[in-house]
Amino acid sequence: MNKAGRATDFFIAANGPMGFVSYFEELCQEEALEHLLILKAGPGCGKSTLMKRMAALREGEEEVQRLHCSADPESLDGVLFSGSRLAIVDGTAPHVIEPTFPGAFERVVDLYHCLDEEKLKTHRAEIVEAHRNNKALLARCRSLIGGAGALVGEIYQIAAPCTDREKILRYTASLSKRLATSKKEGRGRESRRFLTCLGAGDQASFPANIPTLCSQTVVLHDRWGAAGRIFMESLKEHLLEAGYDVICCPCPLFPHHKIEHLFVPELGLGVFTSNDFHAFDLPGAKNIHARRFTQMQPLDAKSARVRFHMKAAKNLLSQADTLMKEAKAWHDQLEKYYVSACDFTEIDSIFETLIAKYF
């Protein structure tokens, strides 16, 4: 597939140690957008189906970015169409989105009128119970993720004093010149997406993005997390200063402090962190080991503590996966009530009108 017609998959929101982290606001302020459609509807009323249908229509014709739901990766929370300068997003909780410039380029697509309120009222108690149970399980899931984050943070604290910051900065300055051999005018644009998310089991990442976006790959092997923070942040800045747009993929455990992966589509470049939670063994990749930037003797002396923290963190994340599945089961139950009360003939008519207008 050529660059203009490629399709990629990311998460635009995820559960983190401090709660739900979303980059929807960044997407909705996208300067390149001409149209932003904000879908408002009950659960199970076809928002994700519409986005999948529209993505399928344009795949192969223009660059399409599918943005998945971290609680249910089979569902979409948004789609970005670069060529059409169009984005469609789910504007309901937990990522409630309201228009800032209604009519100028934002439009709310309200589907609530397609619901049979009287039918829903007969299941009010069950709907409330399903919602509360789903919300409670997600809160417990975030607590477990928070515990894992604290343990992995301890490993970072152990490794940080052993990490040679200046050596990393010199290396990334040199590496960036080899990766981006020509400098463009102006500074590149940074966008943030999650390549991985926590609590989504086997669907927690999108490895298919790598062959789609990358003709050259770099893998930093860093199980301690200290070198990677400096390496990725520094390399990102060099690439932005060289004028290239960069997709930054933060670590869900430290979404505000640690970049885990980078994509530079114009260069066909992907830079990935490989560690105990997600290993990258990519044929033809340039492999860099954090040991070259690390004083290993003091770190080796604390290896037993590192192993203990790592094992405990993995156990907590495994429990979070289990709770996420339970939460989804309650959400699926909630959807059943709304599906039974939804007029899908009217929904389909609205969808066809949107497709005809914007495509």
Per the CB < 8 A criterion, the answer to whether 181 and 242 are in contact is no
Per the CB < 8 A criterion, the answer to whether 282 and 217 are in contact is yes
* pLDDT level of residue 204 (50, 70, 90 thresholds): confident
What is the mean pLDDT of the segment spanning 241-246? Answer: 97
Number of H helices, E strands in the chain: 10, 14
Q: What is the DSSP letter of 184?
A: P
Cα–Cα distances in angstroms (integers) from residue 72 to residues 77, 208, 330, in the given order: 10, 18, 12
H-type alpha helices, the chain: 24-28, 47-58, 117-121, 124-159, 165-179, 209-213, 226-241, 296-300, 303-340, 344-358
How far apart, in whole angstroms, are the C-alpha atoms of residue 114 and residue 45?
A: 9
Q: According to the model, what pLDDT value does residue 121 have?
A: 97
The pLDDT of residue 200 is above 70: no
How much is the mean pLDDT over the chain? Answer: 92
How many of the other CB atoms lie within 10 Å of CB of 311?
A: 12
What is the mean pLDDT of the segment spanning 128-147? Answer: 94
Query: Higher-confidence residue: 39 or 4?
Result: 39
For 47-93, the pLDDT digits (tens) are 999 999 999 998 888 999 999 998 888 999 999 998 889 999 999 98
N- to C-terminal Cα distance for the chain? 21
Q: Which one, of 105, 36, 102, 41, lies nearest residue 75 by Cα?
A: 41
Q: What are phi and psi of 267, to 5 degrees?
A: -95, -5
Return the minimum-mean-pLDDT range out of 59-63, 120-124, 287-291.
59-63
User: Cα dihedral sign for 40, 61, 192, 325?
Assistant: positive
For 156-167, the pLDDT digits (tens) are 999 999 999 999
For 247-287, the pLDDT digits (tens) are 999 999 999 999 999 999 999 999 999 999 989 999 999 99
